[in-house]
Amino acid sequence: MWDYTDKVKEHFLNPRNVGEIENADAVGEVGSLACGDALKLFIKLDDTKERIVDAKFQTFGCGSAIASSSALTEMIKGKTLDEALGVTNKEIADFLGGLPEEKMHCSVMGQEALEVAIAKYRGGPVPTHDHGHEHEQEGEIVCKCFGLTDGFLKKVISQNRLHTAEQVTHFTKAGGACGGCIPKIKELIAEVLGEQQKQESKKPERLTNLRKMQLIQEVLENEVRPLLWADGGDLELIDIAGNAVQIAFRKACAGCASSGYTSRFVEQKLRELVADDITVEEVQG
């Protein structure tokens, strides 16, 4: 039997916020009957359309899927959409006092449904890891059985610091059916680990302008763009003048309602990995 925490048990025995919201502002659906679990998330916003005032769910799945859905709805109530987008699957699992590793994919499903709901509300393309449903797929499909892309898998690997293919299966289901993509998953892990190591050895003390420009380019290529690809977006570096970096958004990011948020994310990444005084500005071009 699974070693579920008391909090997990409490949430599947007495799930919060089961049901649907009529006239919901945002609805996100992930999973399918064939996959063995599916979650439909309903979100109601306040009058300014910024803050979540209510959230409900319908879930087909095991005890931890129900508990993760219940936890997610509790966690996002009262948050702004941008704050809600910052909720990670790990935070959902932590809220429940932890999940067995084999069940971590339930928490990932919660996070996915939230991203899908918000992306659909904001009018951008739906994130690509919407397995089981027919949506536009961007990125390369790695796991054919569950329809998961490299961008999505890399994001989960990086956020949860996964280092074995088995862990990736537990977190995303990838590789859990026919197993054909396990070699590719191992490659992705190596890639992400390589990036993480590079990241840790970065940020030298003093930079020449030329070196700084090289670093900015590297960070955008290796750290930022893969994450945007995962959600169907992209960016282009337009200019670097001293510490001022100009970027233009492409694909899904162009004209996306949350591009301001994305600019701040890029700036934060560059400050973290290159220099503390970098500023990022979005330009048309």
Residues lying near another protein in the complex (CB under 8 A): 1, 12-13, 15, 18, 29, 33-34, 36-40, 58-63, 65-66, 100, 102-103, 169, 173, 176-177
What are the residues whose beta carbons fall under 8 Å from the beta carbon of 273, sequence distance 6 or more? 199, 202, 203, 215, 219, 223
**Judged by CB, which is closer to another protein: 165, or 256?**
165
Report, in Å, the least distance between residue 263 CB and another protein: 36
Choice between 19 and 242, CB closer to another protein = 19
Between the alpha carbon of residue 224 and those of residues 132, 194, 209, the distances in Å are 27, 15, 21
Nearer Cβ to another protein (146/229): 146
Phi, then psi, of 131 in degrees rounded to 5: -65, 150
At position 185, the amino acid (one-letter code) is I
Distance CA 267, CA 84 (A): 20
For another protein, the closer CB: 99 or 235 = 99
**Which residues, 6+ apart, have CB-to-CB distance to 240 below 8 Å?**
212, 213, 216, 246
- Catalytic residue at 106? yes
CB of 167 to another protein, least distance (A): 13
Q: How far is the CB of 186 from another protein (least distance, A)?
A: 18
Q: Which of 104, 216, 84 is nearest to 160 (CA)?
A: 104
| Of residues 24 and 65, the one with the C-beta less far from another protein | 65
Q: Which two tokens stand for residue 51?
A: 């803050």
What is the C-alpha to C-alpha distance for residues 202 and 218, in angstroms, rounded to an integer?
Answer: 11
User: Taking the complex as a whole, how short is the minimal distance between the CB of residue 170 and another protein, in angstroms?
Assistant: 8
12 vs 229, which CB is nearer to another protein? 12
d(CA 157, CA 164): 9
Catalytic residue among 35, 143, 181, 253: 35
Concatenating the DSSP letter of every residue in 165-205 gives HHHHHHHH-TTSSS-TTHHHHHHHHHHHHHHHHHHHT---S
Backbone phi, psi, residue 128, to 5°: -75, -20
Task: Clarify whether 181 is annotated catalytic.
Answer: no
- Inter-residue contact 120 to 26 (CB < 8 Å): yes
Task: Report in angstroms how near the CB of residue 39 gets to another protein at its nearest.
Answer: 8
Query: How near is the Cβ of 243 to another protein at its closest, in Å?
Result: 48
Q: Point out the catalytic residue in the list 62, 106, 143, 181.
A: 106
Q: Which residues are catalytic?
A: 35, 106
